[in-house]
Amino acid sequence: MKYLMTTISAAVILSACGGGTAMTPSDMLIADMQASVSEDRILFGQQDAYMYGHTWRASGMESRFRTDVADVCGSHPAVLGLDLGGIELGHSDNLDGNPFDYMRLAALEHYERGGIITFSWHPRNPLTGGDSWDVSSDKVVSSILEGGDRHETFMEWLARCADYLETFRDADGNAVPMIFRPWHEHTGSWFWWGQDLCSTEEYLALWKMTYAYLVAERNLDNLVWAYSPGAGVDKAGYMERYPGDEIIDMLGLDCYQYGEAPASNAVYASQLKESLAFMTELGREHGKLIALTETGLEGLPYPEWWTEVLYPAIQDYPIAYVLVWRNACDRPEHFYAPWPGQESAEDFCRFVSNDRIVLLD
Ligand code: BMA
């Protein structure tokens, strides 16, 4: 995207002239996204896009620039979502079987081509040894905070996370900016950091500890910090556990369509619009970007979903991007973008042919 190059050159000139404080890589990405929003654009993204698709899995260099989205409409998503789950234990593959080395390779090439990278994190449960969805104990967050039994272990986990993220460098050795989106969907209670599993104070302390370690101690100045509550809360509920303007750069939302389509279309659309409306206000009040950080209709059974449901629901709000979830290659019903021959493929091409919807050039 042209925005990226524009801002980077401006920042280089600025720092070369010794004018003011040099922009950090994260400042540059924020400025790029602000420029994109001010031109009324919405970037389109998908989770794990280059890793696999509905019927294939990337197996090496030659296939890494394949995506189902490009197979359908000729261009790749502009935003690439990836997940760190597993890095905390030093695994070589993430929780969905993607080699971390390969994720870096694809992400860096995506970035070189003008794309944006965003990382979520589904870490294991540091108290029980289960996964992110193990909500059998409501003591997990308290156990990893300072003074807790699992604090040291968790700090090692954060260190491994930082070790990996700091390897994201461009050809000149500069840190590559990326959106970092930990502790997401905390307004629900399906992850060990969720609403009923910790107090507001504990949740906020978890964010502060994560931020202080990665930014102050590890000097990762390339992270754009996103806050991603789940849908189904009002403006007050959305902000109840907000970590604060000093930490957060982007106000996100994870909002899926559940139930049979088309019957569930209207419920999804109205929930999404309601949320995006107060997020638009919050974005202005707090001077933050807003984005639809996860969405989708699993299996896309409604052929006109893209232009009749998704686009009408998002078109009035200044979101930087919309990201749909992954097209799993090992679960035939678990996909959120079309693949060639899928019944919403034609409508998807109509959706992305809208000038406001941006894919990778
Ligand atoms: C969920 C599902 C899981 C996956 C997890 C993390 O929504 O797609 O299969 O492991 O996200 O990517």
pLDDT in tens, 329-351: 999 999 999 999 999 999 999 99
DSSP reduced 3-state for 181: strand
pLDDT confidence tier of residue 19, bands split at 50, 70 and 90? low
Nearest to 83 by CA among 184, 155, 188, 154: 184
| pLDDT tens-place string over residues 159-204 | 999 999 999 999 999 999 999 999 999 999 999 999 999 999 999 9
Nearest CA to ligand 1 atom 4: 96
Neighbours of 73 (CB within 10 A): 22
DSSP reduced 3-state for 46: strand
DSSP annotation of 77: B
Compute the distance between CA of residue 305 and CA of residue 296 in angstroms, rounded to an integer. 10
Compute the distance between CA of residue 30 and CA of residue 289 in angstroms, rounded to an integer. 8
DSSP reduced 3-state for 233: coil
Q: What is the pLDDT of residue 157?
A: 98
Bridge partners of residue 225, in order along the sequence: 180
Compute the distance between CA of residue 275 and CA of residue 281 in angstroms, rounded to an integer. 10
Residue with tokens 């202080």: 212
Q: Which of 46, 47, 94, 95 to mutate to test the pocket of ligand 1 (most atoms within 8 A of CB)?
A: 95
Asked whether 122 lines ligand 1 (CB < 6 A), one says yes
**Residues near 5 by beta carbon (within 8 Å), at least 6 away in sequence:** 114
pLDDT confidence tier of residue 9, bands split at 50, 70 and 90? very low
> Phi and psi of 340, rounded to 5°?
-55, 125
Asked whether 48 lines ligand 1 (CB < 6 A), one says no
**Is the pTM of the predicted complex or chain greater than 0.85?**
yes
Q: What is the pLDDT of residue 110?
A: 96
| b/e sequence 221-247, b meaning 16+ C-beta within 10 Å | ebbbbbbbbbbebeeeebbebbbeeeb
Q: What is the pLDDT of residue 62?
A: 59
Asked whether 294 lines ligand 1 (CB < 6 A), one says no
Q: What is the pLDDT of residue 64?
A: 67
The CATH code for residues 10-360 is 3.20.20.80
Nearest to 96 by CA among 296, 339, 329: 329
| pLDDT tens-place string over residues 256-311 | 999 999 999 999 999 999 999 999 999 999 999 999 999 999 999 999 999 999 99
Q: What are the structure tokens assigned to 60, written together?
A: 């090496």
**Do residues 48 and 81 touch, judged by C-beta distance below 8 A?**
yes
Spacing, Cα 212 to ligand 1 middle (Å): 28
| pLDDT tens-place string over residues 255-270 | 999 999 999 999 999 9
Q: Does residue 253 register a pLDDT over 70?
A: yes
Asked whether 184 lines ligand 1 (CB < 6 A), one says no
Nearest atom (ligand 1) to Cα of 326: 8
pLDDT confidence tier of residue 63, bands split at 50, 70 and 90? low
pLDDT confidence tier of residue 6, bands split at 50, 70 and 90? very low
| pLDDT tens-place string over residues 77-132 | 999 999 999 999 999 999 999 999 999 999 999 999 999 999 999 999 999 999 99
Spacing, Cα 88 to ligand 1 middle (Å): 17
Neighbours of 358 (CB within 10 A): 22
> Phi and psi of 161, rounded to 5°?
-65, -45
Q: What is the pLDDT of residue 16?
A: 47
Asked whether 95 lines ligand 1 (CB < 6 A), one says yes
> Phi and psi of 3, rounded to 5°?
-60, -40
Q: What is the pLDDT of residue 44?
A: 99
- 19 φψ region: left (φ > 0), alpha (ψ -120 to 50), beta (else): beta
| pLDDT tens-place string over residues 122-167 | 999 999 999 999 999 999 999 999 999 999 999 999 999 999 999 9
Compute the distance between CA of residue 339 and CA of residue 336 in angstroms, rounded to an integer. 10
Q: What is the pLDDT of residue 65?
A: 87
Nearest CA to ligand 1 atom 8: 326
**DSSP-assigned states of every residue in 7-70:** HHHHHHHHHHTT-SSPPPHHHHHHHHHHHHHHTT-EEEEEETTTTEETTEE--SGGGTT--HHH
Tell me the domain boundaries of the chain.
Answer: 10-360
| pLDDT tens-place string over residues 196-248 | 999 999 999 999 999 999 999 999 999 999 999 999 999 999 999 999 999 99
Asked whether 326 lines ligand 1 (CB < 6 A), one says yes
pLDDT confidence tier of residue 361, bands split at 50, 70 and 90? confident
Q: What is the pLDDT of residue 21?
A: 76
